[in-house]
């Protein structure tokens, strides 16, 4: 089983990784930890380095837990939602785990929602963690 974790490296990220470990252990699966950044002129070098460091830490955590894993930083000019759905499709992922924010309906309408996009467009089951 391939489990994709949409990872931003913030506090809820630990909860995502713990859930991924639990699911990977029960299915002898592997975890793909993916961070997506839009790219182009909007992505600063410092933010890229920070994302890379967060991915290294995530990979180390999963390795220490005995879970096979890969980490990927995607900067392909797509929104994070588009990137995660496309990555899952390209890599035949069986499940996606991601965090959801509490936002009002109006806030989601105005600002969009990565989680909402992934939930609606993914071809595999999506587990959301608050």
**Residues 68-99: pLDDT tens digits?**
999 999 999 899 999 999 999 999 999 999 98
- Kindly state the helix (H) or strand (E) to which residue 120 belongs, with its residue range: helix 114-121
Look at residue 112 in the predicted model and tell me its pLDDT.
59
Distance CA 116, CA 84 (A): 12
Task: Tell me the DSSP string of 61-100.
Answer: HHHHTT-EEEEEEEESSS-HHHHHHHHHHHTT-SEEEEE-
The CA-atom distances, in angstroms, between 24 and each of 32, 36, 97, 113, 126 are 11, 22, 12, 26, 15
Q: Which residue has the higher pLDDT, 106 or 74?
A: 74
What's the chain's average pLDDT? 89
**pLDDT band for position 12 (cuts 50, 70, 90):** low
d(CA 98, CA 117): 11
CA distance 87 to 94: 11
Structure confidence at residue 52 as a pLDDT band (50, 70, 90):
very high
Question: What is the rounded distance in angstroms from the CA atom of residue 117 to the CA atom of residue 80?
Answer: 9
């Amino acid at each position: 089983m391939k489990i994709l974790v949409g990872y931003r490296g913030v506090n809820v990220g630990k909860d995502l990784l713990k859930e991924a470990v639990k699911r990977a252990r029960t299915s002898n699966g592997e975890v793909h930890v993916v961070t997506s950044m839009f790219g182009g002129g909007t992505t600063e070098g410092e933010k890229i380095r920070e994302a890379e460091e967060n991915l290294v830490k995530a990979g180390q955590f999963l390795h220490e837990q005995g879970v096979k894993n890969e980490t990927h930083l995607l900067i392909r000019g797509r929104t994070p939602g588009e990137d995660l759905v496309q990555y899952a499709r390209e890599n035949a992922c069986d499940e996606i785990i991601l965090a959801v924010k509490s936002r009002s309906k109006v806030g989601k309408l105005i600002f969009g929602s990565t989680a909402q996009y992934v939930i609606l467009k993914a071809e595999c089951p999506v587990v959301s963690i608050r």
